[in-house]
Amino acid sequence: MATRRSAADKTPAGQLTEARLHDLIGYQLAQAAIATTAVYNREVFGPDGLRPVEYTLLTLIAENPEVSSARLAKALAVTKPNITMWVDRLEARKLLQRRPSPSDKRAVLLKLTAAGSRMASSATRRLLKGERDAMAVLSAAERALLIELLHKVARSRPQGPS
Amino acid sequence: MATRRSAADKTPAGQLTEARLHDLIGYQLAQAAIATTAVYNREVFGPDGLRPVEYTLLTLIAENPEVSSARLAKALAVTKPNITMWVDRLEARKLLQRRPSPSDKRAVLLKLTAAGSRMASSATRRLLKGERDAMAVLSAAERALLIELLHKVARSRPQGPS
DNA sequence: TATTGTTATACTCTATAACTATA
DNA sequence: TATAGTTATAGAGTATAACAATA
């Protein structure tokens, strides 16, 4: 397959031709991420000093109370030491707490503090509004469709016991 | 707006609930990128040792002969010193050449060597096939639609003289 | 034997600041 | 004054290896 080519086949900035990259999902994801990162930096990193990983961790922990580091590492496709480092920082900021698991004495259960919970919620609210405003070219239906298609791509991720 | 929620509202790996992140384009882009990165690593980084930025630079230069570093920096939303470093590496591998611009004595024009051109082309071929195979859940029409929606998101990027 | 989480360490990538040469 | 490109340097983020404790 080949999608329609047009004179608009230029990079959003710099005005370079990118016809050969047009059909590459990986490249187009990276270009789109430049836009969402700008929204993130304005709405969350600026006000709260939260890194994208930190925001994501807070939100996943909020929704999955007492989740373990190991499962978070798998969900985000990063290593365990990396999670340890971010959890250290979030704990130092008193946004979450570590508690020993009663059932498995190796495991550490993670739980947000009230402050962490509040910060995660307000960040989500600002992000949703920020993205909606910045990407007003997308209708509600188009946004929903985009999300579903991105889900399909994400689910194609190799699972494996890695 | 709120898109349909379901029991399938879990991270692809780790099986964590992610309902609050469901509608965030930035998060879903990151999750989708995990899948495309896996394809990239298998199809290009493994065989050719080319980093994603390197592949992108080669391809943009192939399509925009004698492009300048400054325009590439804008297109990829990175700094000029960063481009200098990658161009250094690509030049050391004899995949591209630097030539002084005749019209503007400050500028350096970039041009692929035959080897660089060959590598970029074959990488693109492998990536397109690799993505198509890995993301077979997407029909051709869905892939085309996804690309168009990602384009719309990318075009929402703040332009500015930065 | 495998897994959880941590520490110590090294590497990769990107950015900022300062400089030159030219426009 | 502004821009193109480079150098030098520092910072952010991630990974690998090795370990202790537990399953």
- Is residue A115, in this structure, part of any structural domain at all? yes
pTM over 0.75: yes
Mean pLDDT of chain B: 92
Q: Kindly state the percentage of chain A with pLDDT values over 90.
A: 83
At A38-54, the pLDDT tens digits run 999 999 999 999 999 99
CA-CA distance, B16 to B22, in Å (whole number)? 12
**Which among A155, A146, A73, A162 is positioned nearest to B35, based on CA atoms?**
A155
Q: Which positions 113-152 on chain A have a beta carbon less than 7 angstroms from any atom of strand D?
A: none
B13 touches chain A (CB under 8 A): yes
Element (H, E) at A26: helix A25-40
CB contacts under 8 A, A 49-68 vs B, are 52, 56, 59-60, 62-64, 67
The answer to whether A18 contacts B63, with C-beta atoms less than 8 Å apart, is: yes
CA-CA distance, B41 to A41, in Å (whole number)? 28
- Is residue B48, in this structure, part of any structural domain at all? yes
Q: Which domain holds residue A133?
A: 23-153
Q: Nearest residue on chain A to B10, judged by CA atoms?
A: A75
User: Can you give the pLDDT at residue A1?
Assistant: 47
Q: At B54, which CATH number?
A: 1.10.10.10
Burial B107-133 (b: 16+ CB within 10 A, else e): ebbbebeeebbebbeebbebbbebbbe
**Least confident segment among A106-115, A143-152, B10-19:** B10-19
Number of independent structural domains in chain B? 1
User: Can you give the pLDDT at residue B12?
Assistant: 87
At A88-122, the pLDDT tens digits run 999 999 999 999 999 999 999 999 999 999 999 99
Mean pLDDT of chain A: 92
